[in-house]
Each structure stands twice: as structure tokens, then as C-alpha cells.
Amino acid sequence: MIKYSLLFFIFFMKTASAQEKYKVSEGFYNLSSFEVASGMYLLENKTFFYYASFGNVDLKIFGEYSISNHNLLSLQVNKELTKEFYFYGLNNEIQNDSIKLYYTKPYSEKAQKLFINTGKELKKFPEFSIENNIVSITLELPKTRKLKIGCENSEIDSFLNTKEMVEVQLADGVNEIKIYHNYYSDMAIKISQMLWKIEKGVLTENNAANTKKIQKKEISKKIINEVSNFIKAEKSKTSIIKEGKTYQKL
């Protein structure tokens, strides 16, 4: 009985010690530098919100974070933010055995030449023009209800990179799709690969070339609720309305 009580006590102490790290780390960390406004909120519930603003970039990243036994802080970015494309679909009763896909001109030039693998052939989207920033293509609906979408490599003319294609599983009845490129996907992935060291409310980037220490700023319950509500609202965005029609995220 004494043995089990001791084991329980040790487990309890370890759990309490681990939770204390998150409690002490909760706060705002100002990461701003020359011409870059940036910061990160860490909440005790292991949620983080990171932002950065520079040039025409307005980056907002969120997810969960963890602190190791060696006080290394790592970020697990919400998977939706790392996707290169977003797909929204609906059922168009006018179309029967075909599927129509619309692609809005992306900000990134490298993502402008899109192509689709239907399982039978590769088809390119029409090119954008000055007058038209939305292009479309109509295809035979695959029996597998799967499509693979990728970008043409602009550095090598007519090179279709079939190794870096995104697969889309069409929900039953979906035969019309809106496609949008996520300009921030690469940045979100880079954020997820960064490591910091955090101890007693002091954050240091885990990089020998950067030893700048950032002391946390305490945040109020109001700020905590605002951060939590923003993340909750972003996660709840599972549809868009275009031309009076509601498209569901695939």
C-alpha cells in the first residue's frame, strides 16, 4: 500500500511540475524587430497565437505548444494553416456526370499555373488574364471521386510536378469546387519548425546566433478570452458564400 501511495505521489508531483511550466509561461512575448511587428501569446491551456506583420504580409498562426523537460518550446501549428490550397464544394444540380472547378488568381506567381490529375489524364487550367482573375475548367467526374492538384514549375517550362500534388476527396454530391491558394502555408510550416527555449517566463530562440532574451508580459483574462475566441472563430470557418451559394470546406 505504501509503495502504491509513493508512486502516486511521484506521478502527482511530476504532473504538477509540468503544469506549472505552462502556468508560468502564460503571457505575451514581443518578438518585433526592425520593420517587423511580431509577437506570440502563450496560454496556460497549451494554446498559442503568433502574428507577424511586414510589407504586405499579415500572418496569423495558431495551434498548440509543448514544453519539454529541457525547457524547449515547440509549436504544433493547426494543420489547416499549413495546407497549400483550400477547397470548397457544393452540389450543382444542373451538372450530372461532370465537375466544374474555379480557381481564383493567387498572390504568389509560382502558384498561378494549376493542373489536375483526374486519374486518366493531366489537365491544365486556363491562364489568367488582365480582364479575368478567375479561371475554370470542366471535367468528367472521376468514379473514384478523387482529384490530384498541383502547380506547374515556372522555372522549368511545361514541367508538371506530379510528386507534389494535393489529393482532394470529393464528398458525395459535390460537383462544383472553388479553389484558393494559401499564400501563408510556407510561412506557417516554417513557424512550426522553429524552436525556442523558455524558462521562468523568459523566451530565447534556440539558435546560437541569436541570444536575445524576451521577458513575458502578463496578460489579463480579457486578453486571454480574446485570443481564445479568435482561434475558436477561425476554426469554425468551414464554409464560404459566393454568388449567393454556400460552399463547404472539403
Nearest to 88 by CA among 236, 242, 235: 242
CB within 8 A of 143, min separation 6: which ones?
none
Does the pTM surpass 0.95? The reply is no
Q: Where are the beta strands (DSSP E) in 164-212?
A: 166-169, 176-181, 195-199, 202-205
Rounded to whole angstroms, how far apart are CA atoms 37 and 110?
Answer: 26
Share of the chain residues as helix, strand and coil, in percent rounded to the nearest 5:
25, 45, 35
Is the pLDDT assigned to residue 26 strictly greater than 60?
yes
Rounded to whole angstroms, how far apart are CA atoms 141 and 176?
Answer: 10
Q: For residue 218, what pLDDT band results from cuts at 50, 70 and 90?
A: very high
Contact (Cβ atoms closer than 8 angstroms) between residue 100 and residue 176: yes
Three-state SS at 227: helix
Rounded to whole angstroms, how far apart are CA atoms 132 and 126?
Answer: 10
Rounded to whole angstroms, how far apart are CA atoms 53 and 57?
Answer: 5
Element (H, E) at 139: strand 134-140
CB within 8 A of 43, min separation 6: which ones?
26, 224, 227, 228
Q: Which residue has 524552436 as its cell numbers? A: 195
Q: Which pLDDT tens digit goes with each residue over 56-105?
A: 889 999 999 999 999 999 999 999 999 999 999 988 877 777 889 999 99
DSSP category for residue 210: B
What per-residue confidence (pLDDT) applies to 160? 60
Is the pLDDT assigned to residue 191 strictly greater than 50?
yes
Rounded to whole angstroms, how far apart are CA atoms 28 and 25?
Answer: 9
Three-state SS at 56: coil
Please give the grid coordinates belonging to residue 164.
507534389
Sign of the CA dihedral with 29 first, then 199, 192, and 232 last: negative
Identity of the residue numbered 57? V
Rounded to whole angstroms, how far apart are CA atoms 207 and 196?
Answer: 8
Q: In sequence order, which ranges of 155-206 are alpha helices (DSSP H)?
A: 185-193
Q: Which pLDDT tens digit goes with each residue over 131-164?
A: 889 999 998 888 888 888 888 765 555 556 655 7
Rounded to whole angstroms, how far apart are CA atoms 86 and 137?
Answer: 17
Is the pLDDT assigned to residue 32 strictly greater than 60?
yes
Is the pLDDT assigned to residue 16 strictly greater than 60?
no
